[in-house]
């Protein structure tokens, strides 16, 4: 299978670059599923039902999220009625929404997407490792599902890599989000799991991790809050990964970064 995963969409610049580049990505790479992290899509803080619907209409199959999932008022009711929008699976029992979803392509192949949040420098949710373990008891790679992607929304690179190594051989791909900076460590682990510590963001990189520069710099210099953080509104750059898997085992055979847009050096998989 061929899977596209795009990192955190941040504000208007992120939504715009995704809308502009997704048709080209789909035409050239012909993915079987497209997954994005949308937790910063609404002005940098959360996602709305309207934005979710727009992303699904553009051809996105699953939207994962993270610590900002509850920032917009309407999302608690929306997420209960839209299974393709998922939140971290290690929220406590009874939290609205689900932490995973299985989607089928036109040929009936099934992709399981699991969203989980780290605990180092983050909210103290349930154990992310055990939470993923429990979900994987319900599915078998290469049998009940054809591809498994785990989005690890975490601050610490060590925690993301530990999750990747822990799941090696049991899932197709583990990809990190939250830090908004694409890492240069795309690889396939010994057991056949594709991995990248952070997919990066889709947004304006002439910023402080997607936010207009003035207020973050002010807080570092003066240690006092001034204005609210606001997304940078310059031209966006799209960042993500492209993964191929073996049709029998579901394990990865290829992973490559995708970068398209204004600020970072572009890179795009050659599948000719």
User: Catalytic residues, which ones?
Assistant: 68
Choose among 21, 26, 55: nearest CA to 38: 55
Please state, in angstroms and rounded to a whole number, the distance separating the CA atoms of residues 65 and 87: 5
Please state, in angstroms and rounded to a whole number, the distance separating the CA atoms of residues 257 and 36: 14
If residue 254 lies in a helix (H) or strand (E), which one and from where to where?
strand 252-261
Please state, in angstroms and rounded to a whole number, the distance separating the CA atoms of residues 255 and 272: 15
Q: In what order do the strands lie in the sheet with 110-117?
A: 100-104, 110-117, 147-153, 173-177, 194-196, 187-188
CA 175 from centroid of its chain's CA atoms: 7
């Amino acid at each position: 299978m061929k899977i596209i995963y795009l990192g955190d969409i941040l504000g208007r610049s992120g939504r715009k670059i995704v809308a502009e580049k997704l048709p080209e990505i789909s035409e050239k790479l012909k993915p079987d599923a497209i997954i994005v992290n949308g937790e910063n899509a609404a002005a940098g803080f959360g996602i709305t039902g309207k934005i979710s619907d727009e992303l699904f209409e553009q051809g996105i199959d699953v939207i994962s999220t993270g610590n900002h999932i509850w920032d917009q008022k309407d999302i608690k009711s929306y997420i209960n009625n839209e299974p393709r929008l998922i939140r971290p699976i290690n929220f406590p029992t009874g939290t609205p929404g689900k932490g995973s979803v299985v989607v089928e392509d036109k040929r009936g192949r099934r992709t399981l997407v699991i969203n989980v949040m780290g605990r180092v420098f983050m909210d103290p949710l349930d154990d992310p490792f055990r939470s993923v373990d429990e979900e994987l008891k319900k599915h078998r790679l290469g049998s009940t599902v054809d591809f498994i992607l785990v989005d690890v929304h975490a601050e610490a690179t060590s925690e993301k890599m530990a999750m990747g190594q822990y799941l090696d051989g049991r899932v197709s791909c583990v990809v990190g989000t939250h830090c908004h900076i694409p890492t240069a460590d795309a690889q396939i682990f010994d057991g056949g799991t594709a991995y990248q510590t952070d997919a990066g963001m889709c947004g304006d990189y002439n910023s402080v991790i997607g936010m207009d520069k003035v207020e973050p710099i002010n807080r570092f210099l003066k240690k006092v809050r001034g204005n609210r953080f606001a997304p940078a509104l310059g031209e966006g750059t799209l960042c993500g990964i492209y993964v191929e898997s073996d049709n029998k085992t579901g394990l990865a055979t290829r992973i490559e970064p995708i970068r398209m847009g204004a600020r970072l050096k572009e890179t795009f998989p050659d599948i000719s």
